[in-house]
Amino acid sequence: MTTILTVRRNGKVAIGGDGQVTLGDFIAKADVNKIRKLLDGKVIAGFAGATADAFALLDRFEMRLKDFPSNLPRAATELAKDWRTDKMLRRLEAVMIVIDPKTTLLISGTGDVLVPSDGVLSTGSGGNYASAAARALIKHSSLSAAEIVKESLLIASEIDIYTNSNVVIEELSE
């Protein structure tokens, strides 16, 4: 369980995640980095779900990005097709949010490749809390995208027992 959140605002896109790894009701590790730069930092991914599964998917996704280096939606669609049709990949349990300067996508093992309508997208156990906080901060503050991600993840960490306050945030310019 974890929380990943991305926000687009004022020409910037930020993505962040907390650092908690939980095994059942046990906190196994509190400082894991669930945000990864891909394609020499041109794409950033955040993952929720089984860590080993997410790493396997990130490796496969990076291969797809190399196949379609300037087309994030196409690389994501190809990964989603692989994920649904490959016998090994089909069993992997994770969700990824990926960003580049122009695009934000959620990719899941059910074949979803979703684009947010308002520039806010989250996943994980605290995702709904983080999204609600981000939308309120966008509406009622002048904070930057990275500041909104940080504050929203901290709010989620106060509500969701599977999310902690050890956050990692990365940002790209549009």
Residue 98 backbone dihedrals phi, psi, to 5 degrees:
-125, 145
Establish if 91 belongs to a structural domain: yes
User: 104 catalytic, yes or no?
Assistant: no
- Total domain count for the chain? 1
| Mean pLDDT (the chain, rounded) | 92
173 in a structural domain: no
- Token pair 């979803």: residue: 112
Tell me the pLDDT band of 50, cut-offs 50, 70 and 90.
confident
Asked if residue 160 belongs to a domain, the reply is yes
Domain that holds residue 34: 3-167
Q: Considering the domain boundaries, does residue 174 fall inside one? A: no
**One of 2, 3, 6, 123 is an active-site residue; which one?**
2
92-145 pLDDT tens trace: 778 899 999 999 999 987 788 999 999 999 999 999 999 999 999 999 999 999
In a domain, 172, yes or no: no
Token pair recorded at residue 152:
């929203």
134 within a domain of the structure (yes/no): yes
Locate tokens 């997410």: which residue? 54
Q: What is the pTM of this model?
A: 0.93
The enclosing domain of 121 has a CATH number of 3.60.20.10
What amino acid occupies position 70? S
